Amino acid sequence: MMFRLGIAIVGITVAAAVFGPWLTPADPNAQDLALRLAAPSGAHVFGLDELGRDIFSRLLVGARISLLVGLAVVTSASTVGILMGSLAGYYGGTVDTLISRVMDVLLAFPGILLAIALVAVMGPSLTNVVIALSFIGWVGYARLVRAQVLRIRELEYVQAARALGAATPRILVRHVIPATLPTVIVQATLGMAGAIIAEASLSFLGLGVQPPTPSWGTMLDAGRSHLFDAPHLTLFPGLAIALLVLGFNFLGDGLRDRIDPRLIAER
Amino acid sequence: MLSYILRRLALTIPVLFGVATLVFSLLHLVPGDPAQSMLGEAAAPADVAELRTRLGLDDPLPTQYANFMLGAVRFDLGTSFRNNNSVTAEIGSRLRNTLILAMAAMAVALTLAVPLGILAASYRGRFADHAAMTFALVGISMPNFWLGPLLAILFAVKLGWLPVSGTGSIAHLVLPAATLGAALAAILARMTRASLLEELRELYVLAGRARGLSRARVLLKHAFRNSLIPIVTIVGLQFGAVLTGTIITETIFAWPGIGRLLIQSISFRDYPMVQGCILFISVVYVGMNLLTDLAYGWLDPRIRYQ
């Protein structure tokens, strides 16, 4: 039930992101200053924002930013994480100690604080948000993969590949890493939710996507100055973020139950 | 116990060292010249040079690093670029507000979550359980940067019961504390339920009932007490999340704490202050995790020998 709900929410958002420009009832950047802050009506279902732009259209286009940041962060973080985790787990020894110490330090930081710090010094932009979130995100994957690789490298088929003289990179890429992918996919789905929240938080603090690009977090930030006269500025972008995050969480939990039932026992 | 404490401390020191190194490198991640960036593009070269000297940016990197580390150990984090105040003093003056907010949030979370968790566990599988757990799920999924403004719209704008932002009275504390405490309340409620259900399976619960004790008495006096250990741990571990949560909550409600100081300093490009705030929050975070570990080792002796 939850899993299907997750699929539905994520599916609708992806559709909105892909087909958004053709679906928007109005130009998301067109301003109608005479009607600024207008409440939801037949013509503008979610109302107009502080510059008289159609909020529904901006939400549709904003879905792109959320999903794009999520995808970019999850892809880069999981790639680095898989690489580091499998190296640490497979080689052990000094390599493992080195990578693990770096991971300890990064885990000691509250994630969002480090992201804020990085974006603060590098300057607010979409690219820097992705870099900062990937920088803190890879550790989660690396820890997961390392633990798995420690187990997998002792399995007979891996020993057999080694005995047959396969080179280490080949063993890692062909035999070890594929076995870790199911858990990585679950983690990545949940990671989408985390990345989307983090992007929205940063944008809300003015450290993320810069105007006029419609990001859900930036839209929420704008709504803060109009709590009294136009609460719809706060209501709809927040709802979009909360629903999408919930969707990815349902999807991730559902995938975990389906891909690897043992994981439930391990947790 | 002593060897356990020493071992945990020995593990923490390298982490603190790494954290400080990372914070030190932040300033060097600023694209171009940090001094130029702080003063703006139009600044006179002489002013930029003067600021570079003041920030120690002209020293060789190892000297800068050593100075930063020595300063950090002595709680000297430099001076604010904006008003020349000592960074440590500025953080100290905001600390009280942040602590009040964090404590209030934890109090809100505990008073909401524990009764909710007990209710859910004692009516397992029934309506009250589902209602409480749905409430908790909503609490977890709700980003605090949305919950805060929503609460403000409802209780400050529509109902007019509470002030929208600022400080000065207990009423000012209610909305920020509720916003910050909601996620923790949700996590704690689920934890309380799970932990209590675990205990209810134990034989001593059955034995208590067999001796004729009432259901409520067995639940509250016996099972709940034993279920407290994991709850205490979660409270400790989540303190870090609460601490970072203050950054957004303080920004929403204009609460003059360290989180707001950090965000304001970022917009002024007051890098020494940014570094100071980040170092401070991370060190408190690491310290809280250490304390939680120690408390856990004290509560459950098996942990010490792992």
> Quick check: helix, strand or coil at residue A208?
coil
Do the Cβ atoms of A242 and B143 come within 8 Å? yes
Do the Cβ atoms of A246 and B141 come within 8 Å? yes
Taking each helix axis from N to C end, the angle separating B271-299 and B2-27, rounded to the nearest 10 degrees, works out to 160
Do the Cβ atoms of A101 and B271 come within 8 Å? no
Of A117, A118, A238, the CB nearest to B150: A238
Q: With contacts defined as CB-CB under 8 Å, which chain A residues touch B281?
A: 110, 113
Question: What is the number of other CB atoms lying within 10 angstroms of the CB of residue B60?
Answer: 8
Q: Which residues of B fall below an 8 Å CB-CB distance to A?
A: 14-16, 18-19, 21-23, 26-27, 29-31, 141-143, 145-146, 149-150, 152-153, 156-157, 164, 240-241, 243-244, 247-248, 251-252, 262-263, 266-267, 271, 274, 278, 281-282, 285-286, 289
Please say whether the dihedral angle defined by the alpha carbons of residues A206, A208, A212 and A213, taken in this order, is positive or negative: negative
Q: With contacts defined as CB-CB under 8 Å, which chain A residues touch B247?
A: 112-113, 116, 205
Per-residue pLDDT, A107:
83
Q: With contacts defined as CB-CB under 8 Å, which chain A residues touch B26?
A: 117-118, 121
Q: With contacts defined as CB-CB under 8 Å, which chain B residues touch A237?
A: 146
Least confident range of A121-130, A176-185, B286-295? B286-295
Minimum Cα–Cα distance from B143: chain A residue:
A242
> Quick check: helix, strand or coil at residue A54?
strand
Q: Identify whether the C-beta of residue A199 lies closer than 8 Å to the C-beta of residue A65.
A: yes
Locus of tokens 């404490």: B5
Interface test mutation site (partner B, options A99, A103, A109, max chain B beta carbons within 10 A): A109
A154 to chain B, minimum CA–CA distance in Å? Answer: 24
Taking each helix axis from N to C end, the angle separating B228-252 and A111-122, rounded to the nearest 10 degrees, works out to 30
Closest CA to A33 of A46, A43, A55, A48: A48
Q: Identify whether the C-beta of residue A144 lies closer than 8 Å to the C-beta of residue B294.
A: no
Least confident range of B31-35, B50-54, B73-77? B31-35
Minimum Cα–Cα distance from A239: chain B residue:
B146
Phi-psi category of A60—alpha, beta or left, where left has phi over 0 and alpha has psi -120 to 50?
Answer: alpha
Predicted confidence (pLDDT) per residue in B165-209, tens digit: 777 778 888 899 999 999 889 889 988 888 888 888 888 888 888
Structure tokens at B188: 């704690």
Q: Supply the DSSP symbol for B157.
A: I
Amino acid at B49: A
**Residues whose CB is less than 8 angstroms from the CB of residue B146 and which lie 6 or more positions away in sequence, other chains included:** A220, A234, A237, A238, A239, A241, A242
Q: With contacts defined as CB-CB under 8 Å, which chain A residues touch B164?
A: 227
Please say whether the dihedral angle defined by the alpha carbons of residues B283, B27, B101 and A206, taken in this order, is positive or negative: negative
**How many CB contacts within 8 angstroms connect chain A with chain B?**
118
Do the Cβ atoms of A206 and B152 come within 8 Å? no
Q: With contacts defined as CB-CB under 8 Å, which chain A residues touch B146?
A: 220, 234, 237-239, 241-242
Per-residue pLDDT, A265:
46
The number of residues in chain A equals 267
Structure tokens at A108: 């000691």
Q: What sections of B211-299 are H helices per DSSP?
A: 215-217, 224-226, 228-252, 258-267, 271-299
The half-sphere exposure of B212 on its side-chain side, counting CA atoms within 13 A, is 0
Minimum Cα–Cα distance from B158: chain A residue:
A228
Cα–Cα distances in angstroms (integers) from residue B187 to residues B173, B179, B192, in the given order: 22, 14, 9
Q: pLDDT above 90 covers what percent of chain A? A: 26
**Superfamily of chain region A2-266:** MetI-like (1.10.3720.10)
Of B29, B244, B248, the CB nearest to A121: B29
> Quick check: helix, strand or coil at residue A205?
coil
B58 to chain A, minimum CA–CA distance in Å? Answer: 19
Phi–psi pair at B65, nearest 5 degrees? -65, -45
Q: Identify whether the C-beta of residue B36 lies closer than 8 Å to the C-beta of residue B43.
A: yes
Q: What is the mean pLDDT of chain A?
A: 86
A200 to chain B, minimum CA–CA distance in Å? Answer: 9
Cα–Cα distances in angstroms (integers) from residue B75 to residues B81, B82, B130, in the given order: 17, 19, 50
Distance (Å, whole) CA B20 – CA B24: 6
Q: Identify whether the C-beta of residue B247 lies closer than 8 Å to the C-beta of residue B263.
A: yes
**Residues whose CB is less than 8 angstroms from the CB of residue A196 and which lie 6 or more positions away in sequence, other chains included:** A66, A67, A69, A70, A241, A244, A245, A248
Predicted confidence (pLDDT) per residue in B206-253, tens digit: 888 888 888 888 888 888 887 877 787 788 778 888 888 899 999 988
> Quick check: helix, strand or coil at residue B85?
coil
Distance (Å, whole) CA A15 – CA A18: 5
Do the Cβ atoms of B29 and A234 come within 8 Å? no
Q: pLDDT above 90 covers what percent of chain B? A: 13
Please say if the pLDDT value at position B257 is more than 80.
Answer: yes
The pTM for the full model equals 0.85
What number is the ipTM of this complex?
Answer: 0.82
Do the Cβ atoms of B141 and A204 come within 8 Å? no
Locus of tokens 């930081």: A109
Chain A segment 36-95 residues within 8 A of B by beta carbon are: none
Do the Cβ atoms of B266 and A235 come within 8 Å? no
Distance of CA A46 to the CA centre of its chain: 26
Predicted confidence (pLDDT) per residue in A193-250, tens digit: 999 999 999 998 888 888 778 888 888 888 888 877 888 888 889 899 999 998 998 8
Please say if the pLDDT value at position A262 is more than 70.
Answer: no
- Interchain contact A210–B (C-beta under 8 A): no
Omega before B60 within 30 of 0, i.e. cis: no
**Residues whose CB is less than 8 angstroms from the CB of residue B128 and which lie 6 or more positions away in sequence, other chains included:** B119, B120
Phi-psi category of B280—alpha, beta or left, where left has phi over 0 and alpha has psi -120 to 50?
Answer: alpha
For range A98-120, the mean pLDDT: 87
